[in-house]
């Protein structure tokens, strides 16, 4: 996944390009948390170039939303395509105040917010620079913005748990997400048409499948979606 960044006043605009799956979702969360550590408190994620989003991508959005609510600042998401909006609706995120149809609406909302840093003194001592650094992953920034080292490279980091920071119970959004994930897992059976021979296939389980008629293989994700959905559906 490519991640482009620009500045809109005090707002950091992040534009991811590609699919939001288990791999890219981790990169996006790591990238935005790194920029937060560098001082960015208002982040706008324009999702117009996100092709589709999987369950791990949904979890990443919730993680980022909760992170900003807990430690200060805020994040908004905008400009999802039709398929992305359907997935957000499945998990109830389309009704969250952090999600907007258009970038301008998100920008106005972020501009009206008061920035507050909610970290404790002990938490503030934990910075990205103290975390393990490994091989860097390259991201991209807008040509119009001034390039810094952080604009081009973001180091891989491993999560360092902070003792005593686990909440006593899940937040409402967390409970809703768990409920939606459970529903998605329980409704696995669906009918697909083989891309190669157009045979009608009934899918009941996750993982790798093979068409019994022509032998073509495909994967079904944990949400019940197919990786190359647009190629398999008739």
Per-residue pLDDT at 129 exceeds 60: no
Per-residue pLDDT at 53 exceeds 60: yes
Sequence-ordered strand ranges (E) for 21-114: 42-46, 50-53, 74-78, 99-100
| pLDDT recorded at residue 177 | 66
Mean local confidence (pLDDT), 112-120 = 64
Closest CA to 28 of 38, 14, 41, 13: 14
Per-residue pLDDT at 125 exceeds 60: no
Specify the domain boundaries for CATH 3.30.750.24 within the chain.
Answer: 2-159
Percent of the chain whose predicted confidence (pLDDT) is above 90: 40
pLDDT in tens, 182-194: 655 554 466 777 7
| pLDDT recorded at residue 61 | 95
Cβ count near 1 (within 10 Å):
20
Residue 226 φ then ψ, to 5°: -105, 135
Fold topology of 2-159: Transcription Regulator spoIIAA (3.30.750)
Tell me if 17 sits within 8 A of 2, measured CB to CB.
yes
The SS3 call for residue 49 is coil
pLDDT in tens, 178-224: 666 665 555 446 677 777 777 777 777 767 778 888 877 777 766 55
Find the helix or strand (DSSP H, E) in which 35 lies.
helix 22-37
Q: Which two tokens stand for residue 212?
A: 């019994």
Average pLDDT, the chain: 74
């Amino acid at each position: 996944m490519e991640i482009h960044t620009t500045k809109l006043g005090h707002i950091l605009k992040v534009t991811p390009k590609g699919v939001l799956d288990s791999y890219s979702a981790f990169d996006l969360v790591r990238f935005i948390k790194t920029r937060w550590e560098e001082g960015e408190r208002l982040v706008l994620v324009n999702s117009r170039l996100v092709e589709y989003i999987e369950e791990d991508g949904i979890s990443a959005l919730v993680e980022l939303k909760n992170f900003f609510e807990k430690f200060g600042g805020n994040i908004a998401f905008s400009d999802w395509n039709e398929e992305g909006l359907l997935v957000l609706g499945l998990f109830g995120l389309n009704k969250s105040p952090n999600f907007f149809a258009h970038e301008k609406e998100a920008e106005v909302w972020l501009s009206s917010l008061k920035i507050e840093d909610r970290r404790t003194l002990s938490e503030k001592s934990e910075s990205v620079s103290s975390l393990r650094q490994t091989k860097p992953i390259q991201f991209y920034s807008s040509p119009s913005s001034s390039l810094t080292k952080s604009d081009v490279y973001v180091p891989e980091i491993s999560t360092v748990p902070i003792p005593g920071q686990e909440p006593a119970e899940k937040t409402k959004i967390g409970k809703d997400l768990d409920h939606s994930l459970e529903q998605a897992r329980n409704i696995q059976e669906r009918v697909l048409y083989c891309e190669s021979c157009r045979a009608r296939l009934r899918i009941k389980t996750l993982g790798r499948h093979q068409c019994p008629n022509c032998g073509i293989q495909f994967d079904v994700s944990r949400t019940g979606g197919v990786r190359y959905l647009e190629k398999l559906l008739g």
